[in-house]
Amino acid sequence: MLPSRLNDPAALLGPAPLEAMRSRRQEWLARAESLKPVLKINERLPVGLVSVVNDPKAFQGCRMEARGAVESVLGKPLKTGDSFILDFGEHLTGRLAFSLVEPGEAADAPLRLALVFAERPCELEKPFDPYPGTLVRSWLQDEVFTLDHPLGFARVPRRCAFRYVKLTVFAVRDGRTAFEKVMVEAQSAVEMDEGAPVPPGLSPVAAAIDLVSRRTLRECMHTVFEDGPKRDRRLWLGDLRLQALANGVSFRRFDLVKRCLYLFAALPLEDGLVSACVYDEPRVRTGNTRIPDYAALFASTVLEYIQESGDRAIAAELWPVAARQAAVLLSLVGDDGLAKVPEKGWWLFFDWNPELDRQAPLHGAILLCLRRTAMLARIAGVPDEDARVYGDAASKMEAAARKDLYDEAKGFFVSGASGQVSVLSQAWMILAGACTPGEGEKLLTRVLRESGALPPVSPYGWHYLMEACALCGGEAAGAGRRIMEDYWGGMLDRGADTFWEVYDPKNEFLSPYGDHRMNSYCHAWSCSPLWFIRGGGFVR
């Protein structure tokens, strides 16, 4: 049996945490608003003209080829059907703007442009329609923009995320107007040179990964830490933890981390579980999404914020939220101490691999949550009797993991009725302390050599494997370094200037959404190599 005070998780510490959360909602929202950053706007100019070339040897079957200088299209009288692709040299998030002039006679008719914004060449290889994907088509970045008076300055209203933009003159009075200048008003909460300097002595591959990780993080830092500036644009708790780790060793904008913590605290679900995501625009509101493995990370994210910023006062302030996460998540743990996969109403994520059995990772995530909650309780000044209950529950879950989830014959932690062996089951059990670092080092060394072990397919999943490697040290740390160099370095080899939401070296067109063009090619959870390179202990 679980400790008596945990048999009824909803009653853990009585109703006080939930009542405290509700009573402080407006205060936390006000604090979040006071921490809202003023975005920095920088003008960026294109560096050249390019065209898409089909190439079976290139990633996703196409690549960009240089087609001359931007100046060749500036000042040139426009006519219907004109089309060209601008390359801005790196990924940018912002609004396209341009100035127009009359090369001769007055511009006396509207100018209509068809615009397509692209993070990767694949988004310009062929028309978006017919669209086969499962997400709403409007996330794809194409616009028809009409300017009634094609003279002077104009700005496209929609914020986009892209490196390339294709401009096609849909309709114009031929010869009556010309582009004088085309630019992007790029926006972010930070500049690339802010915060901690690049560590000296990095290897060339680590230095390259550090640069692209920083750019990825910069592109996702706006009024909240967004998950991806092209699509979704939401604050997700799973992404936030990895962004906050990377931010702590790079830009060090702790005000933005704190703002995001207050937003999650103020906008929980009905039972007090932290919503997996919240919206910041056009007004703050909850995303109403239940992801237990994200909620399990709330205490960890607060602890890591305290460790990096020194702001210990927030522990007591947000203690009711952390306590409530543990209470609600324990409703998924049986009297035998094992986590049970809920039948409905929850989304268990961990990775985009649909074959992953999530029972063992869920067990590890809840166990980790209990241990981090106990640590936070001590900082928050919670009485020992109340804090001890989390440690007691963690001990029960650890014993259950060793007894029921570790398969002696296979030599691995297994998951579900099929006894699946996956990389992530081992990683989450190690991070949760279900085995010692020495045991974990041997476990990781074996599982990375096991051809039948199910791998992750997203940088988010690979992060938690690398975090387990860093925790264990020794041979596992070396394996973690090689994973980073091979996996993130593989994206660099395929032309990444920001790191991607999904990357499977064996499947270039993998997409959770039925269309690889809908994938985010600048995604928050992919920036975490910054933490490993600068603070995680296995890369130099």
What is the distance between the alpha carbons of residues 305 and 448, in angstroms, rounded to a whole number?
31
pLDDT confidence of residue 535: 87
pLDDT confidence of residue 540: 46
* Backbone dihedral angles phi then psi of residue 144, each to the nearest 5 degrees: -110, 120
Give 46's Cβ-side CA count (13 Å radius): 29
What's the token pair of residue 380? 């928050």
Tell me which residue has tokens 């007004």.
283
pLDDT confidence of residue 17: 79
In the CATH hierarchy, which top-level class contains the domain 43-188?
mainly beta
pLDDT confidence of residue 107: 84
Distant-in-sequence contacts of 487-492, Cβ < 8 A, 24+ apart: 487/459, 487/462, 488/209, 488/212, 488/213, 488/459, 488/526, 488/529, 489/205, 489/208, 489/209, 491/212, 492/205, 492/208, 492/209, 492/212
* Angle ∠(41,44,48) on CA atoms, nearest 5: 165
Digit-coded pLDDT (tens) for 74-115: 999 999 999 999 999 999 999 999 999 999 888 899 999 999
Sequence spans of domains, the chain: 4-37+191-536, 43-188
Q: What is the mean pLDDT of each run of 10 residues along the chain (540 residues)?
A: 46 65 96 98 98 97 98 97 98 98 90 98 97 98 96 97 98 95 98 95 96 98 98 97 98 98 97 96 94 98 97 97 95 96 94 97 98 97 92 96 97 97 98 96 96 96 97 95 97 98 96 98 98 77
pLDDT confidence of residue 485: 97
pLDDT confidence of residue 210: 98
What DSSP element (H or E) covers 298?
helix 298-309
pTM of full prediction above 0.75: yes
Query: Strand pairing of 235-236 and 285-286?
Result: unpaired
pLDDT confidence of residue 539: 53
Mean pLDDT of all residues belonging to the chain: 95
Q: Confirm whether 4-37+191-536 and 43-188 share one CATH topology.
A: no
Query: Strand pairing of 142-147 and 83-101?
Result: unpaired
Would you call 200 helix, strand, or coil by DSSP? Answer: coil
With a CB cutoff of 8 Å and minimum separation 6, the contacts of 95 are 155, 156, 157, 158, 159, 160, 184, 185, 187
What is the distance between the alpha carbons of residues 264 and 321, in angstroms, rounded to a whole number?
9
- Sign of the CA dihedral running 315, 316, 322, 327: positive
pLDDT confidence of residue 9: 44
Fold for 4-37+191-536, please state it.
Glycosyltransferase (1.50.10)
Digit-coded pLDDT (tens) for 303-346: 999 999 999 999 999 999 999 999 999 999 999 999 999 988 99
pLDDT confidence of residue 147: 95
Rg from Cα positions in the chain: 25
What is the distance between the alpha carbons of residues 353 and 457, in angstroms, rounded to a whole number?
6
Largest alpha-carbon pair distance within the chain?
Answer: 86
